[in-house]
Amino acid sequence: MKIILLFFLLFGSVLNAFSLKQGYKFALENDIDFKVNQNNLKTIQYDQNIADSLLYPKVDFSAKVEASRRIKDKTSSPDEKLNKSDEYELKFTQPLFDGFEASNEKKLTKREI
């Protein structure tokens, strides 16, 4: 009886054990502080990408249309005419380069993790 109990104590724990790497990975997956820090890091990297994008070349396009016309008002005298004008403006900005090397470096670091 003691031999069977000793057998289960020795080999039963070995069957449920995992390596140090698996234990570390399991601990990180269940650590709330680690997940919060990862999300904070992602938001910082996102903000950094936005800031870096201001340094890259871009093309700006803008178009403006103005239309004016004279309107004769019924309440005014026959010689008076009112001017009415409409104005429309369209602005477009397109980046020419989005940091090709930086995005590839990020892909490589994600693969290493």
> Residue 54 — pLDDT band, cuts 50, 70, 90?
confident
pLDDT above 90: residue 41: yes
- Between CA 32 and CA 42 the distance in angstroms is 15
Of 92, 85, 93, which is closest to residue 65 (Cα–Cα)? 85
Could you report the per-residue pLDDT of 22-33, keeping only the tens digit for each? 888 888 888 889
Mean pLDDT of 81-106: 74
Helix axes 100-112, 32-53, angle to 10 degrees: 170
Across 14-18, 53-57, 68-72, least confident range: 14-18
Across 4-8, 37-41, 51-55, 70-74, least confident range: 4-8
% helix, strand, coil for the chain, step of 5: 55, 25, 20
DSSP code per residue over 8-54: HHHHHHHHH---HHHHHHHHHHT-HHHHHHHHHHHHHHHHHHHHHHT
> What is the residue type of 62?
S
- Between CA 90 and CA 66 the distance in angstroms is 12
Mean pLDDT of 67-82: 71
Mean pLDDT of 41-48: 88
pLDDT at 79: 64
